[in-house]
Structure 1
Amino acid sequence: MYKILVPVDFTEDSVKASHYALALATAAPQAQLLLLHCYQDYLADADTDVPPPPEMTASEEIAERVINRNVDEAQDELEELYQQLRAQATTQNSHTRLERAFIHGLPEDVILDEAERFKPDLVVMGTKGESNISRSFFGTVTTKVVQELNIPVLTIPASYQGTWISKVAYASNFDNKDTKAISQLLQLLEPFRPELHCVHISKSENKQDQQQLHALQDKLTQTHPQASITCSLLEGDNVAKALHEYIQDQQIDLLALTTHKRSGFASILNPSLAQKLVLESEVPLLVFHSPDEV
């Protein structure tokens, strides 16, 4: 069973991510997709240890009605999105099991708890989320999810229109974990059987990089004889720009990067470069932990 967890906040970005996730799930023979909305009552969460007063004032009663109304509206939005996905699944002849969960609490805590319970193969999120892209991917919620979950996280750009994964670019730093990471990546994307492009960015052409590139290509050909894998060396001082141009030229559908728990960011990039790449990426970005850290 291929399981996908999709946290949603009903922004356009998260709704798009949920439809993308369903398209991914449909590719698997058996799949289960869980829509998760974390409802945070900021008034109630401000001081949860203080017991409620025996009698509410008029202003407190108004605040209580507002909170209840907001809860009802959020539940209605979750149900509406759930029904939209059910209709989409029917249209696509998808056999995906759809579920939804409405849970009160801090998003970063609820997502971690639900991931522990649901045990998804993949977490799919929109890139903007609550308010803007840097808060979602590099802010509290997604950073904590990436750092603490041993589960791949896939972020979907707001402008992305595709729904299928035919070509994947894996950014290599010629790390000794590359082979294991690529095996993990191919296993995760097995339902799509994509063409895999392993790329390494170098400031200038040098013999050592060429040797490492050929060694990686030979090893991958031996370990994955049935897979379509191409290794390429890109030249350029700007890593993000070089990747962007390659993605455009090769019509890549997804960019994959490994990350380390100690930093929470892609191993090939420093945090500022990683942020720039996500901000400007026109394709989904998959971040997963280095194999030895899982």
Structure 2
Amino acid sequence: MKIILSTDFSAENEMLFPYAIDLLKEAGGEIILFHAFMDQILMGDSSFPGGLDSDTFFNRELLIEMEQQAEKFMQEKQQLLEQKISEAELHHITVTPVLKGGDPEMELIQLAEKEQPDLVLMGTHGKGKKRFLEGSMAKSVMTKLNVPLLSIPQGYQWNKSNDILYATNFGRFEVSTINRIFATLKHYQPVIHVVHLQEDAEDDKPGLLMEELKQAFRPEIAKQSIRFHLIKTAIPKEALKVFCEQNNISMASFIANRRKLIDFLFKDKIGKDAFFDLGIPMLTVREP
């Protein structure tokens, strides 16, 4: 198994280390520890004596300093991660540092295309001018990455529950996506709750589509590793939150649609923000 772990070098980001180690604990594999720093510094005219025309002035000294600092931080984080792996006596897990100069989002996407990891792991909060690992970046890259993205909220304490919510809108790729989630999380022996929230209680179509989706998972239903829930509600966002609390949901998952920047997952206009607001890890898979 191979994981890309994105880091902004903050102490808060170290919370991702146990997740990466746990995901590889049984199968072993490689953790690619990734960081990108901006390799161009733009300064306005007023910053320079003599009124230099320097809207795109390239400050080489500052760039060199940034790169050296990034190399130092990367070495420290790599050593810390390797120490945690050694303490767990997991000698079949390796760490590969990757440090890039450039736009963090684009560099991450390109690295994922090159390495083809099983998933990318990032936090949903970060520091710095770019706020590298903040929720806004997770929202953006989840529609562009060619592999699943696991986003962990800062400060989240891992819930030992293996109950996973999967939000369906009955698209073309539901079956393949659910199977991919099963494969990605097989170490946890997940129970996937396939959920659709319906505002129009008189609409029969969602019920028919849910029954059709069930037919693709008869073996999993027999093993009780998948459950299906059609929830009729006038307050879908609140219903989503209540469902997660009542069923001890430890992770939410859905297809990240590329067609719109913020695509709605349900006809009742529940968007990605509703899932960020749950405060639990999110596993997203880009629409093929």
- What interval of TM-score do these two structures reach, taking the shorter chain for normalisation? 0.7 to 0.9
Q: Which has the higher helix share?
A: 1
1:289 maps onto 2:286 in alignment: yes
- Total equivalences in the alignment: 272
Q: 1:85 to 1:165 in 2, by over 3 A?
A: farther
Q: Is the 8 A contact 1:255 1:284 kept in 2?
A: yes
1:97 maps onto 2:98 in alignment: no
Cα separation, 1, equivalents of 2:60 and 2:175: 55
Cα separation, 2, equivalents of 1:274 and 1:7: 25
Give, in angstroms, the shift of residue 169 of structure 1: 0.7
Q: What are structure 2's unaligned runs of at least 5 residues?
A: 44-56
Residues 239-250 of structure 1 mapped to structure 2, 5 A cutoff = 239-250=236-247
Q: Is the 8 A contact 2:193 2:227 kept in 1?
A: yes
Per the alignment, residue 154 of structure 1 pairs with 150
Per the alignment, residue 180 of structure 2 pairs with 184
Residues 172-251 of structure 1 mapped to structure 2, 5 A cutoff = 172-203=168-199, 205-206=201-202, 207-222=204-219, 226=223, 228-251=225-248
Cα separation, 2, equivalents of 1:132 and 1:194: 38
Per the alignment, residue 122 of structure 2 pairs with 125
Normalising by structure 1, we get a TM-score of: 0.79
Per the alignment, residue 35 of structure 1 pairs with 33
Give, in angstroms, the shift of residue 161 of structure 1: 1.0
**1:197-237 CA distance string (max 9 Å, x none):** 11111125455434433443343124775461111122323
Tell me how large the CA RMSD over aligned residues is.
3.1
Give, in angstroms, the shift of residue 163 of structure 1: 6.8
Per the alignment, residue 48 of structure 2 pairs with none
Q: Which of 107, 110, 113 matches 2:107? A: 110
Per the alignment, residue 77 of structure 2 pairs with 81
Identity, % of aligned positions: 21
Cα separation, 1, equivalents of 2:131 and 2:210: 33
Cα separation, 1, equivalents of 2:191 and 2:130: 29
Q: Match of 2:35, SS? A: strand
Q: Is the 8 A contact 2:36 2:103 kept in 1?
A: yes
Cα separation, 1, equivalents of 2:62 and 2:132: 26
Normalising by structure 2, we get a TM-score of: 0.81
Give, in angstroms, the shift of residue 135 of structure 1: 7.5
Q: What are structure 1's unaligned runs of at least 5 residues?
A: 47-59
Q: 1:208 to 1:268 in 2, by over 3 A?
A: same
**1:218-261 CA distance string (max 9 Å, x none):** 43124775461111122323333222211111111110010222
Q: Is the 8 A contact 2:113 2:146 kept in 1?
A: no
Q: Is the 8 A contact 2:265 2:272 kept in 1?
A: no
Cα separation, 2, equivalents of 1:135 and 1:78: 15
**1:36-78 CA distance string (max 9 Å, x none):** 11121342x77xxxxxxxxxxxxx9xx6555444333322221
